[in-house]
Amino acid sequence: MASPMLSASPLLLQLLRWVCVVLFLAASVVSGRHHSAASTGSGQSSMYLAPSCRSHTASLADFGGVGDGTTSNTAAFRSAVEHLSQYSGNGGAMLYVPAGKWLTGPFNLTSHFTLFLHSDAVILGSQNISEWPVIAPLPSYGRGRDHAGGRYASLIGGSNLTDVVITGNNGTIDGQGAMWWSKFKSNKLKYTRGYLIELMWSDTVFVSNVTLLNSPAWNIHPVYSSNVVVQWVTILAPTHSPNTDGINPDSCTNVRIEDCYVVSGDDCVAIKSGWDEYGISYNMPSSHIVVRRLTCVSPTSATIAIGSEMSGGVSDVRAEDIVAVDTESAVRIKTAVGRGAYVKDVFARRMTLTNMKRVFWMTGDYKSHPDDGYDPNAIPVVENISYQDVVATGVYKEAARLEGIDGAPFKGICIANVTAELSKSKKYPWMCAAVEGVSAANVSPAPCEALQQNKDGACPFPTDTLPIDDIAVQQCAYDVPAPAAAAAGPKA
């Protein structure tokens, strides 16, 4: 068993990485202001990091925005995006959200567009439900997640977009979700709650350097999209808040989630691809997904979950350098008869876990269906799941609960170099049913019999580079619109 000092070192390294990221970003902003001011003659210039820079900039204040925390800015946001969309084919545009509290209902973004939040900017989700439009359910779900029928729009949305950036100097997007959670729990909502950010059928999405608070439900939901990067994002919600998942790529290809910190009432990351017969029919998988340097706190849910809505298929998921504290499980695979499709080629390594209910969890009988129309012959395939280099302390329930499907066992499970330190001795530290696989001798406590075929060396982990890792950021300069510009009307 690793010594306590060795067990703690990955957590310390993770914290040091966060400090380095913050210092780097602060230095970039300061040096960027100095450089840009010198080159433009303005004392109100700065720089930021993004895959694409913009040729045109305007402030929300230019469109009548009032940052007092009580005035609705829904019309201002919508007008600003509509005005700036004219530049999508001419260098793109950035909407600058100044310091202040900007109350708003949902609004959509446009292509070749950056939403930039000042460090003291707070976008507040409106508490007036009439400001939240009701939109159609996702075709791969067939209905809303909370209720049959439609769903409320997400606070920041968009569809069929290309090259979208949401970033800033760590400004805040606050969904003010307490009202939504209360109405949901008391069954007073007619439709499914909206999310903080949802971009649909889009390509090249970059979300970074923002703090997301108190979402009504899921926080970041890219769906039917490709080339998505979520980086340097902090997500915070009370750990008892319902369905406040952190980052949920859904029927997405080429996704990179890095250096994020999530405290949530549900899964910190959940990879999905549609629900039962609707997901099978839509047939759009999630694949080529990378999760690195994630820190998670979620006492009732998983650090990384796959499913339970996975009826389009999920494959090639790579997670490494993960830290979880006070969390229900490290990796959880959730599925059921009726889901169909597959979960395959899932790889996780270098995980440091503290105060966990269990380390690994697989569920083949999740018992959640959109309606009674699911196909009982649609049996999901789960295979090629590899976990290695894991140190867990304070595990209070069991090392793992791995439950496949009778007649369709989960196959190809590989576990190596895993230490789960149980807070109390357990007669059966592993619970296994309908699973097949192998484990190495350096797994403690010893796994269940179905996994005790000896394996020499490590479990597989891909060595190739995915295309999403080729997306790089650059320094982008912008002139901060002066406050007096608000009286002059929109400009770019």
286-322 pLDDT, tens digit per residue, is: 999 999 999 999 999 999 999 999 999 999 999 999 9
CA separation for the pair 190, 176 (Å, rounded): 19
Strand partners, 287: 253, 315
Tell me which of 9-13, 34-38, 114-118 is least confident. 34-38
| Three-state DSSP class for residue 23 | helix
List, in order, residues 6 or more apart from 247 with CB less than 8 Å away.
Answer: 219, 220, 230, 233, 235, 257, 260, 262, 268, 269, 270
Residue 455 structural domain: 267-481
166-203 pLDDT, tens digit per residue, is: 999 999 999 999 999 999 999 999 999 999 999 999 99
359 & 472 share domain: yes
CA separation for the pair 339, 376 (Å, rounded): 9
Instruction: Assess whether pLDDT exceeds 50 at residue 360.
Output: yes
| Three-state DSSP class for residue 201 | coil
Whether 20 maps to a domain, the answer reads no
List, in order, residues 6 or more apart from 485 with CB less than 8 Å away.
Answer: 59, 61, 62, 491
Whether 29 maps to a domain, the answer reads no
Which pLDDT does position 9 carry in this prediction?
Answer: 47
Which pLDDT does position 457 carry in this prediction?
Answer: 86
What CATH number does residue 398 fall under? 2.160.20.10
291 & 394 share domain: yes
Average pLDDT over residues 252-271: 98
Residues serving a catalytic function are: 266
94 & 195 share domain: yes
279 & 219 share domain: no
Instruction: Assess whether pLDDT exceeds 80 at residue 30.
Output: no
User: For a pLDDT cut of 90, what percent of the chain falls above it?
Assistant: 86
Whether 5 maps to a domain, the answer reads no
Instruction: Assess whether pLDDT exceeds 80 at residue 407.
Output: yes
109-158 pLDDT, tens digit per residue, is: 999 999 999 999 999 999 999 999 999 999 999 999 999 999 999 999 99
76 & 214 share domain: yes
444-473 pLDDT, tens digit per residue, is: 999 999 998 788 889 999 999 999 999 999
Whether 19 maps to a domain, the answer reads no
User: For a pLDDT cut of 70, what percent of the chain falls above it?
Assistant: 89
Q: Are 154 and 135 in contact (CB under 8 A)?
A: no
- Structural domain total, the chain: 2
Where in 121-248 does DSSP place strands (E)?
121-125, 134-135, 151-152, 156-159, 162-168, 171-174, 197-200, 203-208, 210-213, 220-223, 226-231, 234-236
327 & 440 share domain: yes
Whether 486 maps to a domain, the answer reads no
Whether 243 maps to a domain, the answer reads no
Which pLDDT does position 317 carry in this prediction?
Answer: 98
140 & 285 share domain: no
196 & 327 share domain: no
- Compute the residue count for the chain: 492
212 & 140 share domain: yes
Instruction: Assess whether pLDDT exceeds 90 at residue 379.
Output: yes
Instruction: Assess whether pLDDT exceeds 60 at residue 37.
Output: no
272 & 229 share domain: no
Whether 55 maps to a domain, the answer reads yes
474 & 328 share domain: yes
Which pLDDT does position 42 carry in this prediction?
Answer: 39
Which pLDDT does position 292 carry in this prediction?
Answer: 98
Which pLDDT does position 44 carry in this prediction?
Answer: 64
Which pLDDT does position 14 carry in this prediction?
Answer: 52
Whether 348 maps to a domain, the answer reads yes
Planar angle of CA 288, 194, 262, nearest 5 degrees: 55
When the pLDDT of each residue in the chain is averaged and rounded to a whole number, the result is 91
Q: Which one of 188, 221, 236 terminates a domain?
A: 236
Which pLDDT does position 21 carry in this prediction?
Answer: 43
61 & 171 share domain: yes
Give the residue carrying structure tokens 């067939």. Answer: 142
Average pLDDT over residues 262-280: 98
pTM of the complete model: 0.91
Q: Which two tokens stand for residue 224?
A: 């039917």
Sign of the alpha-carbon torsion through 22, 28, 31, 32: negative
206-244 pLDDT, tens digit per residue, is: 999 999 999 999 999 999 999 999 999 999 999 999 999
CA separation for the pair 434, 364 (Å, rounded): 9
